[in-house]
Structure 1
Amino acid sequence: MRTQTTEGYTHRMERAVAQAVDAGLTGLLVTPGPDLVYFTGHHPTAITERITLLALQAGREPAMIVPILERPDAEPAPGVAALSLADWADGTDPYTATAKLLDPAGRYAISDSAWALHVLALQEALPGTRYVSMTSTLPMLRAVKDADEVERLAAAGAAADAAFEDILGVRFAGRRERDIGADLARLLREHGHSQVDFTVVGSGPNGANPHHEMGDRVVEDGDMVILDFGGIKDGYGSDTTRPVHVGEPTEEERRVHEIVRAAQQAAFEAVRPGITCQDVDRVARRVITEAGYGDYFIHRTGHGIGLTTHEPPYLVEGETRPLVPGMCFSIEPGVYLPGRFGVRIEDIVTVTEDGGRRLNNTSRDLHIVS
């Protein structure tokens, strides 16, 4: 898998500045976390109270300031070649040094992960500046993926698929949810994930809680079990959900599964450039509502994914932003019957020039396990 080039990072910075200007901003301030990795490839080994900040703004060269003791780690980062690098030393005022990079009357979007300590100190150093949330003002900053990002997401999805295929061979009945979750985490790592973000194992009535924390409940014969799991592989996220059933399901369980499967399929088929995020949600919701289970579909249809497993765009009522090629997000409708069971089916999907492409490709049939 190729790595991002300096030219690629430069293009990302230029595109971000253009988006900031369109939003009426002076520029954007990027702090350690996924945004900084996206623009420079730099991931500080330790995120501490020492300020690191990348300033991208119209009419100025991109510039980043780092603690002097961390400069050796920053300089090898590919994107750093495309910007001016400054540093500050312990015992000096880092905010006076950082202020030199900024417009004294500027209005900036700042990373959501920025420490309040730093934002407040910058406001004190430059009283004429204003700061707004990156996500609220520039929500599509990382939403449109390039070809390399899509293929990294596809590789992460394939690894998660492989983990699911392997877990089907594990015994479920008579074991605790947390033990099955540990198996899933192990399998994700065996298939190349460097980080496991979550393993949801919701058995029987626990499956009716979409964010169930797996616990000591022993899985029983006759349980529907929701498996929702993902993490990070080569810097990009995976996230997939499949229900399995221990032994033969009831007619109602089969019916609810088929309704959710049909809703997920319909939403996928609706994906194309120009359709709005809320329209994809409406398609999935309509199938479930017309089947009589609308009150039991209690969350949005999907969320974006990339360097993090939850990021814009969100497939939810009220989000009128149109889809464009390169956007990547989950499609995961569900039905949750309190005290009984739940069903959710989730794939990561990317928008293509004429439709959508699934990045998860395991069967969406109801799998029977022992």
Structure 2
Amino acid sequence: MSPLAADLPPFTADDYRARMDRAAAAAAGAGLAGVLVSPGPDLLHLTGYEPPPTERLTLLVLVPGRDPVLVVPALEAPDAAKATAGPLLTLRDWTDGRDPYALTAELLGAPGRFAVSDNTWALHLLGLGRARPDTGWTALTDALPMLRAVKDARELERLAAAGAAADAAYEEILTVRFAGRRETDLAADLAGLLRRFGHSRVDFTIVGSGPNGADPHHEAGDRVIRPGDTVVMDFGGLKDGYGSDTTRTVHVGEPTPAEQHVHDVVREAQQAGYEAVRPGAACQDVDRAAREIIEEAGYGDLFIHRTGHGIGVTTHEPPYIVEGEEQPLVPGMCFSVEPGIYLPGRFGVRIEDIVAVTEDGGRRLNTTDRAMAVVE
């Protein structure tokens, strides 16, 4: 059965128990008193619970050697209890008019430093600081950057299925007409195709034609695509809770030799980055391998971003494939390899695949042709 058609079973309470146990153990190993997790991708990954984003405090408290506790507003406690990990959590609910920070302070134990999820509201962190002035905080990404970076087999299945769906969308978009249509028209087509092939959420559909392709994060606009344009398409979102992200660069009609040359350089750089993926290599080694090709071709100053980013329950997360990141690669990590060259006022080229680290190298989760497709 193909990844696109795979029937993916839901995560179980045992899956979430293992994740919370690993997080608590990692905190202890880092000399931390525990982990505090607010609503967002970390809470979803650890518990399967995704509460509405409100000003009321919801906080998962993980302290090594103790059962996990979820501090939750009383009006949301029934939904929290229904979450997959709900039976594993001790719920401490609070009602409006009570001080949730005093309640949480009692759960933290002895003074120490806690890793706090990056998206925790300042309002809540300041409230906890008032309730526990003897306790310190550090950002979760700084303290435990690999918490969500290494995927298990069931997560890898979901990422492969998301990649296959994005590939199907790309293959389909090649059959439509580009010339004479606006960038926003193509972006809408891509969004519709991602949903058609199973995405529940579309996060981005970058379509940069002609000179707009030289802006890596160009928002699709009203520019009409013309014959002779190079077109960068970068698109992705969530399928079965896990992300897709792929980029291909196409040309409306036959490219000029100069355009083809730039594309060939980026394609070679992307291949070099992929071939550098192996257990034990540093994240920066992948960046260096791709960047070296582009620098040797004389375009080093025109490759203006990192080579890649991790992907999972969000489309951007650790590990980051960039100079200075010495974190070694281990099997189960998933990240993009996406070098690019951007010529201001002229055009841009980017090629991107999601790659999973295996026991002996890397596995592409995007498999569409990386050659420059010619479209009408």
TM-score > 0.5, shorter chain as reference: yes
Once the two structures are superposed, the pairs formed by residues 176-325 of structure 1 within 5 Å of their partners are 176-325=182-331
Unpaired segments of 5 or more residues in structure 1? none
The residue type paired with residue 99 of structure 2 is D
Tell me the distance in 1 between the aligned counterparts of 2:309 and 2:145. Answer: 12
Q: Does 1:16 align with 2:26?
A: no
Tell me the distance in 1 between the aligned counterparts of 2:275 and 2:102. Answer: 53
Tell me the distance in 1 between the aligned counterparts of 2:64 and 2:207. Answer: 48
| Post-superposition offset of 1:78 | 1.4
| Post-superposition offset of 1:103 | 2.3
Tell me the distance in 2 between the aligned counterparts of 1:342 and 1:357. Answer: 26
The answer (yes or no) to whether the contact 1:56–1:63 under 8 Å persists in 2 is yes
| Post-superposition offset of 1:104 | 5.0
Correspondence for 1:338 = 344
Q: Does 1:38 align with 2:45?
A: yes
Correspondence for 1:146 = 152
Output one character per residue of 1:273-315: Cα deviation in whole Å (capped at 9) or x when no partner.
Answer: 0000000100000111111111111111000000000000001
Runs of 4+ in 1 over 2 A off after TM superposition: none
| Post-superposition offset of 1:84 | 1.3
Output one character per residue of 1:94-118: Cα deviation in whole Å (capped at 9) or x when no partner.
Answer: 1111212112512101111111111
Tell me the distance in 1 between the aligned counterparts of 2:118 and 2:38. Answer: 9
Correspondence for 2:70 = 64
| Other structure's SS at 2:85 match | helix
Correspondence for 2:354 = 348
Tell me the distance in 1 between the aligned counterparts of 2:160 and 2:64. Answer: 34
Correspondence for 1:123 = 129
The answer (yes or no) to whether the contact 1:103–1:129 under 8 Å persists in 2 is no
Count, aligned residues: 369
Paired residue for 2:170, among 132, 152, 164? Answer: 164
Correspondence for 2:35 = 28
| Post-superposition offset of 1:23 | 1.7
Correspondence for 2:117 = 111
| Other structure's SS at 1:220 match | coil
The answer (yes or no) to whether the contact 1:104–1:126 under 8 Å persists in 2 is no
* TM-score scaled by length of structure 1: 0.98
The residue type paired with residue 285 of structure 1 is R
The CA RMSD over aligned residues, in Å, is 0.9
* TM-score scaled by length of structure 2: 0.97
The residue type paired with residue 35 of structure 1 is D
Tell me the distance in 2 between the aligned counterparts of 1:130 and 1:178. Answer: 47
| Other structure's SS at 1:123 match | helix
Correspondence for 2:88 = 82
Tell me the distance in 2 between the aligned counterparts of 1:357 and 1:341. Answer: 30
Tell me the distance in 2 between the aligned counterparts of 1:82 and 1:73. Answer: 14
| Other structure's SS at 1:75 match | helix
| Post-superposition offset of 1:16 | 0.9
Tell me the distance in 1 between the aligned counterparts of 2:206 and 2:235. Answer: 6
Tell me the distance in 2 between the aligned counterparts of 1:269 and 1:59. Answer: 42
Q: Percent identity?
A: 67
| Other structure's SS at 2:371 match | coil
Tell me the distance in 2 between the aligned counterparts of 1:162 and 1:235. Answer: 18
Tell me the distance in 2 between the aligned counterparts of 1:83 and 1:64. Answer: 6
Q: Does 1:54 align with 2:54?
A: no
The residue type paired with residue 162 of structure 1 is A
The answer (yes or no) to whether the contact 1:332–1:345 under 8 Å persists in 2 is yes
The residue type paired with residue 363 of structure 1 is D
| Other structure's SS at 2:165 match | helix
Tell me the distance in 1 between the aligned counterparts of 2:25 and 2:81. Answer: 26
| Post-superposition offset of 1:89 | 0.9
| Other structure's SS at 2:315 match | coil
Output one character per residue of 1:206-235: Cα deviation in whole Å (capped at 9) or x when no partner.
Answer: 101111111111111000000000001110
| Other structure's SS at 1:145 match | coil
| Post-superposition offset of 1:59 | 2.5
Tell me the distance in 1 between the aligned counterparts of 2:326 and 2:86. Answer: 36
